């Protein structure tokens, strides 16, 4: 297993030794028309989980080439209006309110990670502690740019750098690394 981690690294995530990004041993990906439905079996590393039940990724993470350019700095998960939204991991609420006429909740997690959920109606307040999987609100109708009628936009940042939130679940882009450094 260590050799595998030497060869594959989830882009934009902490090194695989971090329990927050160790992939589950049981992952199933099913194709659906216009979407990808993904489920993840619980793992001992389960520091993070999906924010909605039966997630359907309808718009993937697509970071811009430069920070000031357009891009998609999260993933969109299709779900019906009113769907329960859960915190992907334990942390502290650092924002809960309206922003650009949408309900937004941001949760700071250990290691400098921050997840954001929108559009969400929530009764949480700044400073509230949440556990992994705790209900944080209900999905509001609509989301600009979403190809479905209603989507949860789920974002992830570490400091000022946007990351693919699917990396928290062991999904995401991978790249091959050399086994030996050139000197």
Residue-level pLDDT at 114: 95
In angstroms, rounded to a whole number, what is the distance separating the alpha carbons of residues 131 and 122? 15
Under-50 pLDDT residues of the chain: 1-45
In angstroms, rounded to a whole number, what is the distance separating the alpha carbons of residues 9 and 11? 6
Residue-level pLDDT at 4: 28
In angstroms, rounded to a whole number, what is the distance separating the alpha carbons of residues 88 and 43? 14
| CATH code given to domain 19-171 | 2.70.70.10
From 3, 20, 17, select the one nearest 168 (Cα to Cα). Answer: 20
Residue 68 neighbours by CB distance under 10 Å: 6
Q: What is the pTM of this model?
A: 0.69
Q: Tens digit of pLDDT for each residue in 124-140? A: 999 999 999 999 999 99
């Amino acid at each position: 297993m260590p050799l595998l981690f030497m060869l594959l690294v989830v882009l934009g995530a902490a090194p695989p030794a971090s329990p927050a990004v160790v992939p589950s041993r049981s992952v199933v990906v099913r194709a659906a028309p216009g979407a990808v439905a993904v489920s993840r079996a619980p793992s001992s590393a389960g520091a993070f989980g999906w924010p909605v039940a039966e997630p359907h990724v309808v718009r993937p993470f697509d970071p811009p080439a430069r920070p000031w350019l357009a891009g998609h700095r999260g993933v969109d998960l299709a779900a019906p209006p009113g769907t329960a939204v859960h915190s992907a991991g334990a942390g502290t609420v650092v924002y809960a309110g309206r922003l650009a006429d949408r309900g937004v909740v941001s949760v700071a997690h250990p290691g400098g990670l921050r997840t954001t959920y929108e559009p969400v109606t929530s009764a949480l307040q700044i400073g509230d502690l949440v556990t992994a999987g705790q209900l944080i609100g209900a999905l509001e109708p609509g989301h600009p740019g979403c190809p479905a009628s209603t989507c949860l936009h789920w974002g992830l940042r570490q400091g000022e750098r946007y990351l693919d939130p699917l990396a928290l679940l062991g999904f995401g882009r991978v790249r091959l690394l050399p086994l030996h450094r050139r000197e």
